Structure 1
Amino acid sequence: MDLPLTPAGLLGHGLRLRPWHEDDVQTLLRGVTDPEYLRWNTHNVPVDDEEGAAELLRQRALGWARGEFATYCVTDESTAAVLGHVGLNSINWPLRCARVGYWTLPEARGRGVAGHALELITRWAFDEIGLHRMELGHAVGHDVSCRVAERGGYPAEGTLRGAMFGAGRRDTFRDLHLHARLATD
């Protein structure tokens, strides 16, 4: 794959995946400051205001240009309402491997949005950009994320001890369940 990555609009299951835009700052901020999101995720750099969300968007745009990650805003295909996020992170081109992550806004939960978005980005990553392996990690105890991973064809591979920050902290760590899927699965 030649760098940079070119964002592609992905469609399916009533969803449209599109790159995040500068005017999505408030929606992104609402997503990454949601209490349920924060229960399971801690950013390396705090994102707790519009300035932090705008910087996160800038970093995502740079990541696309560098071929380091590919992050999508998940929207309703018919209304364009933002429903959540799905993205590839830590793309390792020599190994053709990446980490995938997702989240949904509160009003989109329980509707299969995360699973369908995961399916769309997985198909794109394997078929269009040529990845071989995609890994998915979630905090131990995050049963909803575990079910999304398993339904999406990402079987559990094990537990990584102390592999992610504790909830809302950068001085404690917790275990992570690792799931993965191969292009040959």
Structure 2
Amino acid sequence: MATVDGPHLTTPFPELRGDGLRLRPWDADSEADVEVWLRGLTDPEFQRWNTPIRSVTDVESARESLRGKELGMADGSAASYCITDTATGAPLGHIGVNAIHLVLSHARIGYWVLPESRGQGVATRALGLAAHWALTGLGLNRVELDHAVGHDASCRIAERCGFRYEGTLRGAMFEAGRRDAFRDMHLHGRVAGDPEPDGL
């Protein structure tokens, strides 16, 4: 696996643990991981708020998508993690520190949680863990998070984890299920000098 030179960045990226969660790399050769990835990306609630650039509709496209995540992990451009329960190992969702840019010292975080794991603080705990690592372990200055306007749960999670609302980006993401129409999204940001959020 490649090594990426930089002040704080080497790959492979580490597993992250804390607050009852283990964030581990996805495995495209694992049938279980592929099934979880497919379930997550075809979940109606996920599709309501997200339209991936490349569709994931079956096992093969899910495996191909996960291979792309592995490549990002290998070249240091993204850290894609399966969120799991520390005690049971059960998969709970996904979180990724994406678009890692060492020169500008920033990245973008995205996440989703499986239907059966919602309402348990999984996204908040995983976001707090990943953001802390990005700003300390990776040594980045800024981490961004964005979501479709109207996704109030994501707004609350972002603010709970110290990501301040910074504005609305007009026509910045696809409409649900379409690639020929666009909608607005909220931008949240957190920088290294911000105080740690209470309770995380």
TM range (shorter): over 0.9
Give the deviation of 1:88 after TM superposition: 1.0
What is the aligned partner in structure 1 of residue 175 from structure 2?
Answer: 166
Give the deviation of 1:60 after TM superposition: 0.6
Secondary structure of the structure 1 residue equivalent to 2:179: coil
CA–CA distance in 2 between the matches of 1:52 and 1:99? 24
Per the normalisation by structure 1, the TM-score is: 0.97
Give the deviation of 1:176 after TM superposition: 0.6
1:74–1:85 CA contact under 8 A, matched in 2: yes
Structure 2 residue 110 is matched with structure 1 residue 112 = no
What is the aligned partner in structure 2 of residue 179 from structure 1?
Answer: 188
Secondary structure of the structure 2 residue equivalent to 1:32: helix
CA–CA distance in 2 between the matches of 1:6 and 1:178? 29
In structure 2, list runs of 5 or more residues that go unmatched: 195-200
Count of aligned residue pairs for this structure pair: 185
Give the deviation of 1:127 after TM superposition: 1.1
What is the aligned partner in structure 2 of residue 19 from structure 1?
Answer: 25
Sequence identity percentage? 58
What is the Cα-based RMSD across aligned positions, in Å? 1.0
What is the aligned partner in structure 2 of residue 84 from structure 1?
Answer: 93
Query: Which residues of 2 match residues 10-89 of structure 1 at below 5 A?
Result: 10-22=16-28, 23=30, 24-89=33-98
Per the normalisation by structure 2, the TM-score is: 0.90
What is the aligned partner in structure 2 of residue 128 from structure 1?
Answer: 137
Aligned with residue 7 of structure 1, among 7, 13, 34: 13
What is the aligned partner in structure 1 of residue 152 from structure 2?
Answer: 143
In structure 1, list runs of 5 or more residues that go unmatched: none
Residue by residue over 1:46-98, the C-alpha shift from the partner in whole angstroms, topping out at 9 and shown as x without a partner, is: 11111111011110111111111111000000100000011111111111101
Moved more, 149-158 or 124-133: 124-133
